[in-house]
Structure 1
């Protein structure tokens, strides 16, 4: 284990990234555990307020992210300082992305259906950082041979091609595949080749006069959502807690 850590993490200079990822995941897990206890009225925890104003944990998260980011830039990648600031950055990022939905909607949607977006972003971020940590370079340039990598034209074409696949996948309404495809190009290629989702920019532009393509797109999206929406929600509820129902929210505001 020590040899593997030295060869694959410490020697390539990935220790700060590993520490940041670990701090990010641990912070998210601890934060969600505490907020779920507060929601259930259990434990010694409570919401933080100042002068009647509820201080969301995204606020200290932003502060820690700024401190960790600028500190890491100032100290460089090596040494104790770089590792310490990487941990600070990971903690801050965990607090910020746990309330990503609040930032996106500019509303306290933490325990609503919209709040599921925070869990999705956290899982996606952890997966992307994990892939980079495992050696997957953005746009798949890690798959080139030494001679190919020396050829700048090959590198440029590889990056441009993979970027194009990611853009097409995004235009077809497949945001998750587009983002993951940045580091694993075959995923973006799959998203680029498959039918666009109904209502996506690609579908509005290219399926407008193709009723059969629109019908196939709608049918595939229906079967995909029917197959995966339920399991995905179960996983999201297990990770981040089940959102309040509309009835529960209405009672809370009455």
Structure 2
């Protein structure tokens, strides 16, 4: 196997193993328990960061020489999988792992696996000669559409669009999810209401399929979303207006 194939496999295996272990811990079965040291819960993103950094340094140091390049690839795949499995926790700076917001991590992992899979299948427009460079503009448009879908909160569309470009292109021009960053920053009240009505209709027709799949992969949420932390008022310093 090539180093990149090893990275893909280690990423996938680590994610599956991590979700299996965390669900066993939540159910109170098996030998695993939460990693708590001195009253501090050490989340698995922490060893993931250490693994990813160490393996990145190793990959640079060995200059592609095998078998060390293979070892670095496996460690990068495992470390990055541990980090992205807690992406929602890092994003919100709150333990949302078993809340509905925590399922964002699963969507990010699915999107990452989709992109890695495309590269593994040979999508590398920058490799080779001028024939490959001819598809660079199309690849940039595709990646841009995927990023817009993510910004619009359409993670499932982005995952499908990674393999079916028209899905990403259509998703990029359609209304955003009403709770997405795109909607909050770009939509007025009327357009946000349209987005909400559209999202409610889609969720009523198809939402249970997506929720069922997410629960199957990630585990059914058992905790409510924590309240947003209010922004602290800026400290007033003497002499400032």
User: TM-score, normalising length from structure 1?
Assistant: 0.72
CA distance in 1, matches of 2:22, 2:51: 19
- Where do residues 26-175 of structure 1 align in structure 2 (5 Å cutoff)? 26-137=13-124, 141=125, 148-149=131-132, 154=134, 157-159=137-139, 161-162=141-142, 165-166=145-146, 169=149, 174=154
Larger RCO (alpha carbons 8 Å, 6+ apart)? 2
Which one has the bigger helix percentage?
1
With over 3 angstroms needed to count, the CA separation of the structure-2 counterparts of 1:171 and 1:242, relative to structure 1, is closer
Q: Give yes or no for contact 2:55–2:76 (8 Å, CA) kept in 1.
A: yes
Q: Give yes or no for contact 2:47–2:79 (8 Å, CA) kept in 1.
A: yes
Q: Give yes or no for contact 1:109–1:115 (8 Å, CA) kept in 2.
A: yes
Residue from 160, 170, 185 that aligns with 1:190: 170
> Residue 33 of structure 1: CA displacement?
1.2
> Residue 223 of structure 1: CA displacement?
3.1
> Residue 163 of structure 1: CA displacement?
5.2
Where structure 2 has 5 or more consecutive residues not aligned to the other structure, the ranges are 227-241
Question: What SS class does the counterpart of residue 225 from structure 1 fall into?
Answer: helix
Q: Deviations over 1:184-208 (max 9, x none)?
A: 5433322245x32364748986x86
Q: Deviations over 1:146-186 (max 9, x none)?
A: 7644xx6x456445544554566567654554576567543
Question: What SS class does the counterpart of residue 77 from structure 1 fall into?
Answer: coil
> Residue 225 of structure 1: CA displacement?
2.2
Aligned to 2:200: 222
CA distance in 2, matches of 1:204, 1:55: 34
CA distance in 1, matches of 2:144, 2:86: 31
User: TM-score, normalising length from structure 2?
Assistant: 0.75
With over 3 angstroms needed to count, the CA separation of the structure-2 counterparts of 1:245 and 1:67, relative to structure 1, is closer
> Residue 235 of structure 1: CA displacement?
0.9
Q: Deviations over 1:42-98 (max 9, x none)?
A: 112111122221111111110001111221122233410000011011111111111
CA distance in 2, matches of 1:172, 1:36: 30
Q: Give yes or no for contact 2:114–2:159 (8 Å, CA) kept in 1.
A: no
CA distance in 2, matches of 1:65, 1:128: 18
> Residue 107 of structure 1: CA displacement?
0.6
CA distance in 1, matches of 2:90, 2:61: 28
Size of the aligned set, in residue pairs, is 222
Aligned to 2:230: none
With over 3 angstroms needed to count, the CA separation of the structure-2 counterparts of 1:177 and 1:92, relative to structure 1, is same
Aligned to 2:235: none
CA distance in 1, matches of 2:149, 2:110: 19
Question: What SS class does the counterpart of residue 188 from structure 1 fall into?
Answer: helix
Residue from 216, 221, 231 that aligns with 1:243: 221
